[in-house]
């Protein structure tokens, strides 16, 4: 068992840079010495299908040699084992350079034997060296960086493989599939492979294993965990099934549709575009949607990719080209996606100290299942030929079998532990949403950006996306020392329909204390709008904050969350010296928290010696809301602020039109609708009509009458207008059909 050493951020970046160069050169060389090129070379030498399955199985059985590397790592460093094994695996391919000489001499058996010996040596040392792959990745990445970096590694792998495949196609096309062209390609692959191996010596060292706990003990421990058991059983099935398809995809192209070697490799190289797209997509989404959702998504793509092969229609020309491109593209996208997510998922369910041992076991499972699958595939196709099936029908039946196994595996994947923050259903919804994918792309750009100007631009774009997928990425942005960045980040959060991320909620609550006079008030506004009740204790403290904007937004946020306990502290602020902006928010809050019987509190600013016009307007509108007549009063009041005389006239005309004229009912004096009616005159008019209009006055009606008889209240022209609206609305509401008599008192 080993602990992962801690490197600084700069050291990890430099290590990853070296590792990226290694990945590009190594995977370019790998394609020139292993895989499809060996399969096509063996076919050219006349090797039977069973031999193709056997050679392909070596790629998987090589992983059974990982324990040898694990054993060697007890005596020398993991990186040294990795580097020397990688160097020896390319040197082991030297015997294959002699194959053309024996083919020319007609000694095909010896040529095939040399291919087999070279492949054995290559895969033996490959397995030994694989012990260092994941520990090195674990060393050069933090837990947060790891998932995305693994996706990047796969992208580099497929990019280099595609370049290698195109180079291979170019050479074979020029040389017309000559055996000497194959020899030249192997030579280039060996040389570039040795070059790549030199970079491994510069990888950061992982600590030597210094514990008596061996591989078997660690495996026994992890197998006790249900999450790991389900994963490893599922992974065995995945490795087994996919190893049946991969080696024979290129053979299928060649044998069923009679494609040349170069054309078969070309289709394979185009298939790497699917793998490259998979890597880019995984890197974008893996940290957000989680590996289980991606597992299911890619397995579904793999299942879909087999449908064309099951049908295998008779095609020629452009239709055939499109068909084969689609088959290779989708199969690479799906199968490579499943494989890449296996490693990422495993990192999420094991401890850092178990990386070396568990991945050794992981590779053994991969090798055993893959080797069996590849050999069985060759045998099945051979048996299909023996029982009389044509080549076309043999492959149709073969792919139908694999299709059925994939469907069963899809159900097994659904039982895996979900390591993501979102449910699989939610995650798949995000994957198929263009809006959320765009927002996630912006969030990834934000995470990688270090320029304040660029971050502000990205945050502005995120605000317009109105998606909640970027929650994770905005947490760190809120800790930025630059106010403008925090400001824009908060606007982006405010545009989200919901707020689910616990870390982001805590960051917003923390913002209340850490960003006074700058952005704290926006955080309070968001918490209130989203009704995050866990923020109530901190919000109550903000009622007495020296930051008046935070104070105001906290008061309104508490009202939105119906926090009655904070009402006494709020009402203590209802005094002349309080900031007008805070008072405006206080009125809006009182609307939500106070019963209508407390309407007198809204008139309190009218008693003050000096009342700012804006404050008086807000107090009246809040009072109108409490009286249940805001919708009626508001349009009249807007007119009143421009022309009081016009407002009174409009009020009079509306009630003349809406009231049925008759000779009965209460008579409202026209002076009630006259802007010149003031002071005692207005008070007397109201006292005259009040008992008739309000025959059974409520507590609110009595509060309004008390305000009417207060000289400090009726001195305000706007209050007198509101009383006129209140009286006439009451008459209309009760449908008393009062007649308006145009006369004075």
Rg (CA), the chain: 39
pLDDT for residue 660: 47
- Mean pLDDT for 368-375 is 84
Sign of CA dihedral 24, 25, 28, 29: negative
Tell me which residue of 244, 267, 233, 511 sits closest to 376, measured CA to CA. Answer: 244
pLDDT confidence tier of residue 272, bands split at 50, 70 and 90? confident
Res 744 pLDDT > 60? no
SS3 content of the chain, % helix, strand, coil (to 5): 80, 0, 20
Q: DSSP secondary structure string, 601-637?
A: HHHHHHHSS---HHHHHHHHHHHHHHTT-HHHHHHHH
Q: Which range scores top for mean pLDDT: 193-197, 387-391, 688-692, 712-716?
A: 193-197
- Mean pLDDT for 339-366 is 80
pLDDT confidence tier of residue 208, bands split at 50, 70 and 90? low
Q: Which range scores top for mean pLDDT: 52-56, 225-229, 400-404?
A: 400-404
Tell me which residue of 482, 552, 566, 494 sits closest to 523, measured CA to CA. Answer: 494
Per the CB < 8 A criterion, the answer to whether 493 and 474 are in contact is: yes
Whole-angstrom CA distances from 518 to 362, 490, 685, 717 are: 52, 12, 52, 39
pLDDT for residue 737: 42
3-state SS assignment for residue 743: coil
In the DSSP assignment, the letter for residue 495 is T
Res 550 pLDDT > 90? yes
Res 661 pLDDT > 50? no
pLDDT confidence tier of residue 659, bands split at 50, 70 and 90? low
pLDDT confidence tier of residue 22, bands split at 50, 70 and 90? very high
Q: What mean pLDDT, rounded, does the chain reach?
A: 83
Tell me which residue of 420, 416, 413 sits closest to 290, measured CA to CA. Answer: 420
pLDDT one-digit tens code per residue, 85-128: 999 999 999 999 988 898 888 888 898 889 889 988 898 898 88
pLDDT one-digit tens code per residue, 614-658: 888 888 999 999 888 888 899 999 999 999 999 988 888 876 765
pTM of the model: 0.62
Res 2 pLDDT > 70? no
pLDDT confidence tier of residue 740, bands split at 50, 70 and 90? very low
pLDDT for residue 207: 57
pLDDT confidence tier of residue 248, bands split at 50, 70 and 90? confident
Q: For residue 377, what are the contacts with CB-CB under 8 A and spacing of at least 6?
A: 53, 243, 244, 245, 247, 248, 398
pLDDT for residue 658: 57
Least reliable range by pLDDT among 375-379, 554-558, 733-737: 733-737
pLDDT for residue 655: 65
pLDDT for residue 472: 67
Res 595 pLDDT > 80? yes
- CA–CA separation, 461 and 560 (whole Å): 29
Res 564 pLDDT > 90? yes
Res 551 pLDDT > 90? yes
Interior angle at CA 511, CA 507 and CA 513, nearest 5: 130
- Mean pLDDT for 237-242 is 90
pLDDT for residue 289: 79
pLDDT for residue 663: 40
- Mean pLDDT for 383-387 is 87
Tell me which residue of 667, 686, 696, 699 sits closest to 727, measured CA to CA. Answer: 686
Q: Which range scores top for mean pLDDT: 124-138, 533-547, 690-704?
A: 533-547
pLDDT for residue 731: 73
Least reliable range by pLDDT among 21-30, 274-283, 630-639, 710-719: 274-283
**Portion of the chain with pLDDT greater than 90, in percent:** 20
pLDDT confidence tier of residue 451, bands split at 50, 70 and 90? confident
CA atoms within 13 A on the CB side of 67: 12
- Mean pLDDT for 73-87 is 87
Least reliable range by pLDDT among 229-233, 344-348, 546-550: 344-348
In the DSSP assignment, the letter for residue 128 is H
- Mean pLDDT for 157-178 is 83
Backbone φ and ψ of 419, nearest 5°: -90, -5
Res 3 pLDDT > 50? no
Res 43 pLDDT > 60? yes
pLDDT confidence tier of residue 736, bands split at 50, 70 and 90? very low
Tell me which residue of 656, 680, 644 sits closest to 741, measured CA to CA. Answer: 656
pLDDT confidence tier of residue 435, bands split at 50, 70 and 90? confident
pLDDT for residue 442: 76
- Quote the distance between the C-alpha of residue 495 and its chain's center: 17
pLDDT for residue 25: 93
Q: How many CB atoms lie within 10 A of CB 320?
A: 15
Res 662 pLDDT > 50? no
Least reliable range by pLDDT among 299-303, 304-308, 405-409, 670-674: 670-674
- CA–CA separation, 302 and 652 (whole Å): 75
């Amino acid at each position: 068992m080993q602990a992962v050493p801690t490197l600084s951020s700069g050291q990890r970046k430099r290590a990853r840079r070296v590792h990226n160069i290694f990945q590009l050169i190594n995977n370019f060389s790998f394609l020139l010495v292993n895989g499809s090129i060996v399969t096509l070379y063996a076919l050219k030498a006349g090797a039977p299908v069973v031999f193709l399955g056997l050679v392909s199985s070596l790629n998987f059985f090589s992983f059974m040699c990982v324990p040898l590397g694990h054993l060697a790592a007890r005596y020398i460093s993991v990186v040294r084992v990795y580097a020397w094994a990688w160097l020896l695996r390319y040197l082991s391919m030297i015997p294959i350079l002699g194959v053309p000489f024996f083919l020319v001499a007609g000694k095909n058996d010896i040529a095939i034997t040399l291919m087999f010996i070279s492949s054995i040596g290559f895969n033996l040392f490959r397995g030994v060296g694989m012990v260092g792959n994941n520990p090195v990745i674990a060393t050069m990445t933090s837990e947060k960086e790891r998932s995305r970096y693994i996706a990047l590694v796969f992208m580099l792998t497929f990019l280099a493989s595609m370049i290698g495949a195109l180079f291979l196609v170019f050479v074979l096309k020029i040389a017309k599939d000559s055996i000497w062209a194959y020899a030249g390609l192997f030579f280039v692959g060996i040389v570039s492979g040795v070059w790549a191996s030199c970079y491994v010596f510069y990888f950061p060292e992982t600590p030597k294993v210094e514990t008596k706990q061996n591989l078997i003990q660690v495996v026994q421990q992890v197998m006790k965990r249900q999450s790991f058991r389900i994963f490893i059983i599922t992974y065995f099935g995945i490795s087994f099934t996919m190893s049946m398809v991969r080696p024979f995809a290129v053979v299928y192209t060649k044998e069923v549709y009679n494609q040349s070697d170069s054309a078969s490799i070309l289709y394979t190289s185009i298939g790497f575009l699917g793998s490259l797209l998979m890597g880019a997509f995984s890197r974008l989404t893996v940290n957000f949607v989680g590996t289980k959702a991606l597992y299911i998504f890619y397995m579904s793509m793999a299942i879909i990719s087999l449908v064309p092969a099951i049908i295998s229609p008779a095609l020629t020309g452009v239709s055939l080209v499109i068909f084969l491109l689609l088959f290779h593209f989708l199969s690479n996208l799906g199968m490579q996606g499943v494989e890449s997510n296996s490693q990422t998922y495993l990192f999420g369910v094991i401890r850092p100290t178990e990386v070396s041992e568990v991945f050794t076991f992981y590779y053994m499972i991969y090798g055993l299942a893959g080797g069996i699958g590849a050999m069985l595939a060759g045998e099945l196709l051979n048996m299909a030929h023996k029982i009389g099936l044509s080549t076309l029908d043999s492959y149709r039946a073969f792919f139908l079998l694999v299709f059925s196994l994939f469907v069963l595996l899809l159900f097994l994947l659904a039982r895996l532990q979900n390591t993501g923050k979102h449910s699989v259903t939610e995650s798949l919804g995000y994957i198929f949403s263009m809006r959320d994918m765009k927002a996630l792309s912006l969030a990834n750009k934000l995470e990688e950006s270090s320029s304040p100007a660029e971050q502000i631009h990205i945050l502005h774009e995120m605000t317009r996306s109105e998606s909640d997928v970027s929650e994770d990425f905005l947490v760190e942005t809120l800790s930025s020392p630059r106010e403008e960045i925090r400001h824009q980040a908060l606007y982006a959060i405010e545009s989200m329909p919901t707020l689910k991320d616990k870390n982001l909620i805590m960051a917003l609550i923390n913002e209340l204390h850490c960003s006074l006079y700058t952005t704290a008030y926006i955080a309070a506004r968001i918490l209130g709008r989203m009704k995050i009740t866990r923020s109530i204790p901190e919000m109550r403290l903000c009622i007495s904050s020296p930051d008046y904007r935070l104070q105001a937004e906290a008061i309104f946020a508490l009202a939105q969350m119906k926090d009655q306990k904070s009402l006494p502290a709020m009402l203590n602020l209802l005094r002349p010296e309080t900031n007008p902006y805070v008072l405006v928010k206080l009125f809006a809050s009182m609307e939500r928290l106070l019963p209508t019987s407390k309407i007198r509190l809204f008139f309190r600013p009218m008693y003050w010696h000096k009342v700012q016009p804006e404050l008086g307007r807000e107090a009246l509108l809040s009072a109108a809301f409490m009286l249940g007549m805001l919708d009626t009063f508001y349009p009249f009041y807007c007119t009143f602020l421009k022309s009081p005389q016009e407002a009174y006239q409009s009020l009079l005309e509306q009630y003349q039109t809406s009231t049925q004229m008759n000779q009965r009912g209460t008579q409202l004096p026209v002076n009630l609708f006259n802007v010149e009616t003031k002071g005692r005159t207005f008070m007397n008019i109201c006292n005259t009509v009040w008992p008739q209009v309000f025959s059974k006055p409520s507590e609110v009606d009595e509060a309004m009458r008390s305000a009417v008889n207060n000289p400090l209240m009726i001195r305000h022209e706007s209050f007198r207008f509101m009383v006129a609206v209140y009286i006439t609305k009451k008459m209309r509401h009760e449908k008393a059909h009062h007649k308006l008599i145009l006369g004075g008192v």
